[in-house]
């Protein structure tokens, strides 16, 4: 039997195993994406018949000031969330030591990951509150004036990002702690015998072996930054004056509060495209590094 016939038989044998996953992926991923693109080409309030507008929603979107504010805020979220893998690695290296009481420290650092985003939003809303927040109590204690960060158009977004970084860093830390268990001890020992220490050991020996964990941490952080919604909704509701809005929240606001389903779908499509482009660039960089 020829090699091509063997390959065809192997492909046919794998088909029943791939088909269920392919079906679920098509129904729950590809179909909603295609449907969102279709809805974005219509004017629809969710009740009456859809009216075809072509690229009208996109034309309006690219002339919308709030859209650009939300887009810039998303970029800030994205750049800030790239700190989460760095902080997570630093915390994982600290917690990976065998010293007394480390299990207690680990449980404390795991805490932000296990609580819901709603609770995180409420905690930081109280912390930043201009009247009774813990931040202002501390400032008053040292003789400084209090500030209302969430009520300030310039500080609302950075304050919400700080709240988001707290659980995101804990998540990256868990990924790196898992990755550290797979670091090859023989390679580390050989490097140590060759005189590698400190930063040299970390940069040339440990971090290259953590590449899979780094890949997952960065991708998850990118996705988390671009789909940031819950903290914005809880802490500022996009205010003051839409200054802290992000694309996901603006999409929700236009779709479910203003009943502009077509316009909301157009925002979703743009957000999806940004996410895909960023992850594609990152994948290309990672693949090039692995081929070297």
pLDDT in tens, 207-242: 889 988 998 898 888 888 887 888 999 999 988 888
Share of the chain above pLDDT 90, in %: 45
> What does the pLDDT read at residue 80?
94
Rounded Cα distance between 202 and 208, Å, is 9
Closest CA to 59 of 291, 266, 292: 266
Closest CA to 93 of 165, 191, 198: 198
Give the mean pLDDT of the chain: 88
Span 75-119, pLDDT tens digits: 999 999 999 999 999 999 988 887 777 778 777 888 888 888 889
> What does the pLDDT read at residue 89?
93
What length does the chain have?
292
> What does the pLDDT read at residue 2?
65
| Ordered domains of the chain (ranges, CATH) | 64-291 (1.10.3720.10)
Give mean pLDDT, residues 266-276.
90
Question: Are 218 and 151 within 8 A, CB to CB?
Answer: no
Q: Can you list the positions of beta strands (E) in the chain?
A: 42-43, 51-52
**Tokens encoding 107:** 């449980």
pLDDT band at 292 (very low <50, low <70, confident <90, very high): low
pLDDT band at 285 (very low <50, low <70, confident <90, very high): confident
Helices then strands (H, E): number in the chain?
Answer: 16, 2
Pick the range with the lowest mean pLDDT from 51-60, 71-80, 129-138. 129-138
Rounded Cα distance between 92 and 106, Å, is 9
Rounded Cα distance between 126 and 239, Å, is 17
51 beta partners:
43
Share of the chain above pLDDT 70, in %: 97
């Amino acid at each position: 039997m020829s090699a091509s016939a063997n390959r065809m038989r192997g492909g046919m044998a794998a088909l029943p195993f791939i088909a269920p996953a392919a079906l679920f992926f098509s129904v729950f991923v590809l179909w909603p994406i295609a449907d969102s693109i279709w809805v974005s080409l219509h004017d629809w309030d969710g009740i009456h018949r859809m009216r075809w507008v072509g690229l009208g929603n996109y034309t309006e979107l690219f002339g919308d000031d709030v859209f650009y504010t939300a887009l810039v805020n998303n970029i800030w979220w994205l750049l800030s969330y790239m700190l989460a893998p760095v902080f997570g690695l630093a915390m994982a290296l600290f917690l990976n030591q065998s010293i007394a009481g480390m299990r207690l420290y680990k449980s404390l650092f795991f805490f932000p990951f296990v609580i819901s985003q709603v609770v995180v939003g409420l905690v930081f809303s109280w912390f930043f509150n201009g009247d009774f927040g813990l931040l202002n109590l501390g400032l008053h204690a040292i003789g400084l004036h209090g500030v209302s960060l969430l009520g300030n158009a310039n500080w609302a977004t950075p304050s919400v990002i700080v709240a988001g970084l707290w659980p995101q860093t804990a998540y990256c830390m868990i990924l790196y702690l898992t990755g550290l268990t797979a670091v090859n001890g023989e390679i580390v020992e050989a490097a140590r015998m060759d005189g590698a220490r400190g930063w040299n050991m970390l940069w040339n020996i440990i971090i290259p072996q953590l590449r899979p964990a780094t890949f997952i941490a960065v991708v998850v952080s990118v996705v988390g930054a671009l789909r940031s919604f819950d903290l914005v909704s809880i802490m500022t509701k996009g205010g003051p004056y839409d200054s802290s809005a992000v694309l996901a929240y603006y999409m929700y606001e236009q779709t479910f509060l203003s009943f502009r389903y077509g316009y909301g779908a157009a925002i979703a499509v743009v957000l999806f495209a940004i996410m895909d482009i960023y992850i594609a660039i990152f994948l290309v960089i990672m693949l090039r590094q692995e081929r070297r």
